């Protein structure tokens, strides 16, 4: 089986109404992206599970992998600047460092 997870990190500021609007728009965007992926690759429909999560990307990926007994994670790498990776850490690096299974990092 193939599991596809899209994670949106919530902004650290904003009121409740703005946050709810942000979450709704983000979920709509990711769900549309998943639908397009299913249309583009119809052979994956039966054996592919799609999930949209909110929160810290590395934490959500690792939690999903743990709860679904994932045996291999493939994660993208966006190639942020050295400073931003030093300051915040990269999602790919955090997943590689903490995953309990093999991780493949795919560069753009």
Residue spans per domain, the chain:
1-55
The residue among 95, 65, 91, 87 whose CA lies nearest residue 79 is: 91
**Cβ atoms of 47 and 38 closer than 8 Å:** no
The residue among 47, 48, 65, 88 whose CA lies nearest residue 7 is: 65
- Per residue in 66-105, pLDDT (tens digit) is 999 999 999 987 766 666 555 446 888 899 999 999 999 8
Q: Please tell me the pTM assigned to this model.
A: 0.75
Lowest mean pLDDT among 45-49, 52-56, 58-62, 73-77: 45-49
């Amino acid at each position: 089986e193939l599991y596809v997870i899209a994670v949106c990190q919530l902004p650290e500021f904003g009121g409740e109404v703005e946050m709810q609007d942000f979450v709704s728009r983000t979920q709509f965007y990711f769900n549309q992206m998943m639908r397009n992926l299913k249309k583009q690759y119809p052979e994956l429909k039966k054996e592919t599970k799609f999930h949209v999560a909110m929160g810290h990307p590395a934490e959500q990926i690792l939690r999903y992998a743990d709860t679904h007994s994932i045996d291999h994670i493939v994660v993208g790498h966006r190639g942020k600047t050295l400073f931003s990776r030093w300051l915040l850490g990269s999602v790919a690096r955090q997943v590689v460092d903490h995953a309990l299974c093999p991780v493949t990092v795919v560069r753009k």
